[in-house]
Amino acid sequence: MTENIVVALGGNALGKSPKEQLDLIAATASPIADLVELGNQVTVTHGNGPQVGMIKVATDVAAKSSTTPSIPFAECGAMSQGYIGYHLQQAIGEQLRSRGIHKPCVSVVTQVVVDEDDPAFSTPTKPVGAFYTKEEAEALHAETGNTYVEDAGRGWRWVVASPKPVSIVEAPVISSLVDEGAVVVAAGGGGIPVVEENGHYHGVASVIDKDRTAALLAGQLGADTLLILTAVEQAYAGFNTPHQEAISHMTTSEARERIDAGEFAPGSMLPKIEACLEFVEDNPGKRAIITSLEKAADGLKGLTGTVIRSA
């Protein structure tokens, strides 16, 4: 059965440098092409943690040592979307052509609206950019008002908020491209965070969880399945403990019970489960799947992975 699928690529699918990314990208593109070859409409989202960090650090260092201006964080996010999207659309396009599938693959620089009153802006938690001495951080705080924290003994870094995504500005365009048969790469890194004021958008320094944005995008595109690809074949309760338990299926109520019991690690599997819940609860009758990149097609067929559906 043909499905409309939003695929969220985990950080293991992309490298930490341009060369490493190019080395990995063909292996990343092949399972995506498998899904297309099965007749599905596919939209791809991805992380950008190492890439946007690399761009921000490079521009910060340049600004410290020359008259080059510092690049705002939202613009760094846009740069990372373009660079990763370029690699993905090349690799996926080549995979499709090698299989005789003549579908365009295109990347869309994507803005995601956040609420400027989101409580996350009062408690920034995500370190970004270059490392500074305590004295440099104090001077930058006095100059900009930004929050800086000591990061694991390596120096002081700027921390930004992680607000929830509200809506995806380019969703209608992405939907039109999908309807025309394109494979679309969109909302990379959770999207470029923007706030709306009187019909105008402007970027804000923050990091949106990529899986939450993937869930929102899947809902706005009317997707049948949200497919979150990570480093493991299934979600586990008690991961990496003697009592580790693979989970093949969960209802939304079962998933919430496991969350309340603390069975999923914060910052690892927990946000993926929460994103799946958001999609399934907001879109009754749809499903979310968590599995590995290599098992993407098998997960879609129900042969592996963790499937979450409505209760």
- The residues annotated with a catalytic role in the active site are 11-12, 126, 210, 272
The two tokens of residue 21 are: 């990314």
CA distances from 198 to 110, 118, 165, 201 (A): 20, 18, 19, 8
Two structure tokens written together for 263: 């069975």
Show the tokens assigned to 301. Answer: 């067929």
Tell me which residue has tokens 């958008």: 201
User: 217 CB contacts (<8 Å, ≥6 apart)?
Assistant: 6, 43, 45, 168, 171, 174, 186, 187, 223
Using CA atoms, how far apart are residues 165 and 155, in angstroms rounded to an integer? 30
Q: Find, among 78, 82, 81, 111, the residue nearest to 193 by Cα.
A: 111
- Given CA atoms 22, 28, 29, 30 in this order, what sign does their dihedral have? positive
Give the separation between CA 41 and CA 53, rounded to whole angstroms: 31
Give the residue among 272, 226, 266 at the shortest CA–CA distance from 10: 272
